[in-house]
Structure 1
Amino acid sequence: MMLDALMVEDLYAAAHAPKLEAFEKCTEDIKSISPEAYNWVIRSETGHWANTFFGGLRPQKTPQKAAETAVVVQPASLPSLAPTLNNALALNEPTDVEMGNEITPVPISSNPFPMAVIDNDQRIAARQWENLITGVGQRFHSLAEFREALRKYSIAHAFNFVYKKNENQRVTVKCKAEGCPWRIHASKLSTTQLVCIKTMRPTHNCQGVTSKAPFRAKRSWVGNLIKEKVKESPKIKPKDIATELKRDYGIDLNYSQARRAKEYAREQLLGSYKDAYTDGDDGAFPVAFAVVDEENADNWHWFLTELKEIFGGQCYHAYCLGYLAEKLNKDLKGHFSHDARRLMVEDFYAAALSPKLEAFEKGTEDIKSISPEAYNLVIRSEPEHWANTFFGGLRYNHMTSNFGHLFYSWVSEANELPITQMIDELRGKMMQLIYQRRVESSQWITRLTPSMEDKLKNEVIKARSVQVLRSHGSKFEVRYGETVDVVDIENWDCSCKGWLLTGLPCCHAIAVLESYGRSPYDHCSRYFHVETYQLTYADSIHPIPNVERLMDSEAEDGTVLVTPPPTMRTPGRTKIRKVAPGGRIGPSDFLKRQLQCGKCKGLGHNKRSCK
């Protein structure tokens, strides 16, 4: 019954949508619940009932104003909906209370705390979350998305909650205050991955959060919350983070919690060497590898030259920000204190990440105020290869070359093998990786890859607080908090440069697109779409015969392939040769020191055995 009601609502929304994008969104919502229902709707002569396709004029009949208490509608079966389309009811957003097996509607209150007095000067930033939970019938793509919305909703309305049920199919939550009736229940819709709010008691009889109980939040959650703040002010102190979170969101954090959250935010902004990148889901995609005698500049130049010959076209060479920062720190070591070096490295990161010239110049000027020599070193290090302000290509927010971590872990397991077996071992691992990702992506039901879907949803949530002011042509002025930016939707550009740097529309662009009835998904980089990801892994690396049998065969010219002789492990403990720093082996590494007698000064014996 709940699924029927949701599809009826989607059908009404599709019928009233004046634009094709909105019509397609509603019908896709139906399809996510039932492909059969979607096919029925598409075949039901949309030109006669959908505003998007109707060719004539049909005056809008003003529906009867809904009562303060919503009416529970028993939807008819899907094939009987078309004859009743013109009698569509005015739907509001009711919030119901669970009474046994029935749903009893209750009036919606604009103030969930009728007894409490909320300080308007507090939790200013949290106001954008006040309407993340709207009531019964609201849908989410997953239980994780529902829990995230619930957490932010509780912060905005200043109350704590506890889970009565927290399972993989359903979630039931109540207000933590003793005796407070506030309660909400959501569960997955059968045969789908969608989650729907089934019941909700919307009103509290408590005073909200009146005590200073610590807010329990994961390091990753708070880190994502402060990520933009850390990006703008890399040198912000943990105590300042805690103060601002308390002021803007009412969240209490101690110093260590704020410090760990800042570390997580920096890791997300600058990249972690534990992660691998490059495909549409932030995963490493194997392109090419080579086996060389030594890792040096000449071999790297040869490898990259060969790679460029394969791909051709114009290529932009981006420097690894992590390597540059490590080198800068090494060059400054011995000349400056630890704190001074830390500040200059942070300023260097801020300059590299800044999308605008003013922010880049501020970061470098901060370095100059500590050391003019370090400033000159940074300026001479070719910023067009590592600074977002000057880089000519697209980096999709990948600032470090840590994509090799996965491959290095493979090599470490195979580096003791003969070269042919080593290559075959790496080939097998890449073959398995491509197969696994092809199978996993076939189960995805979203339009974007999972990691990009999450990033876009975060921007969509922020877009709800963006004010759009129409300007001229395709350009718009947008205001988000105290910042003002300009969006050009036709050229896929925003003055914040977030759209260009990440390949995903920023919150400013999303607000403009939605005001026009356009879908943000249609303005994401094609590399992030599931279809492109699946094409990336559509081809396989095929199995080959056993490598050892190939080694015993003859070449075309009749010569026999020579393989390394088999080695036998000698009994006893293996002796490990110590190698000098830099990898150079000198006489002192393998010559043993001879005994010298302290009595006769002879060699080969000591004074105790001297005769």
Structure 2
Amino acid sequence: DLALGQGHEDESMDDGEDHHDLGDLALTEPHPLGEDDNLDHLSLEQAHDLALEPGDDYSQGPLAVAPVVQSRMMVVSTEFQLVVGQEFPDVMSCRRAIRNTAIACHFEIQTVKSDKTRFTAKCAAEGCPWRIHAAKLPGVPTFSIRTILDKHTCVGINHLGHQQASVQWVASTVEERLRENPHCKPKEILEEIHKSHGITLSYKQAWRGKERIMAAVRGSFEEGYRILPGYCRQVERTNPGSIARVYGNPDDNCFRRLFISFYASIYGFVNACRPLIGLDRTTLKNKYLGTLFLASAFDGDGALFPLAFGVVDEETDENWIWFLSELHELLEKNTENMPRLTILSDRRKGIVDGVDFNFPTAFHGFCMRHVSETFRKEFSNSVLVNLLWEAANALTVIEFETKLLEIEDTSQEAVCWIRRLPPRLWATAYFEGIRSHNTCL
């Protein structure tokens, strides 16, 4: 089993780190940044007083919606009507029916007595006479409503939310919809519950309800990390020639790294793709965060062709060097006369060092998209950015130097920034590797 660590601390590489069989490990606490920090500070009372709804920009935090009185005076389906003699398969079904009725009719209940043979509840409003009593029938688990005083003197709840509308209730209410559409957002869940039950819950309740159903359908994040070693073994067993490795921290065996390349990708790259590899990464936004590393090739039509991917706890120079060492081992095992590679990436030092160490004969170039984005952030001048692209695409050294002189006429700082980048790594006039408009070199 494999556990997920709490922090993203950069630990030194351990040449002796084992993969695959990591033993039975206890799962550590979740990464603190993976929780919904915006809502954790709310008390139960505050959650009732506010219906929380996120804006499009989650960094702005949830938006407060003005409370609306939830009156009990509404048309209620016969599905939620309780009568004396009504029977239920067991005590849990009985309690569930009473709870659903209280939610639908907008009053809260207080349990008076609950055991294996009896269940008694009353309206939570002070002085309200509504009361219900159910009991188990002899010799069977069936529960039956024995008495009910179906009269309220209260006006119903006058706050948002509902004491009986727990996270589990939310999950069971929207389970069918989430199974059909797992991409349903918490905001849509809130709208559906308000429309069907007339109550307004907090965004956090909807989010947690969805998480509970998704865990039941897909398994939890924690369980996913635990079964990674077994998954890697199955990949290599059922896809001979594939490489699947998972690594844990040597101290606590919490998840650290994952590298996977399927044999179909390896075979396709070696036999049908150009000797050109692009490196990229993207941030994972699940509960435990992390970073996804990608190594992509290019087929004969210039389309992207997946070669390998890795998952790490965070993007560091050390993790990039590790990923490139895995990629080098992959290619070394599967090629006898590999042509000289061209590798394109951003300017991160770990990538540069990893390419120099693992692929010393490869042509290494910087992706111009990354270079231009960094340049734009630094100088915020579209004219200079256009000139930078013209310099990068110049076919001769003379044309390249002419464009740099034009940049210098506009900004001395900009041309100094550019000249710090070795032109052999980004300028077409100097680059010796494979050129392709799709690679943004």
* TM score, norm. by length of structure 2: 0.35
If asked which structure has higher relative contact order (CA below 8 Å, sep 6+), I would say 2
Q: Greater share of strand residues, 1 or 2?
A: 2
Larger Rg: 1
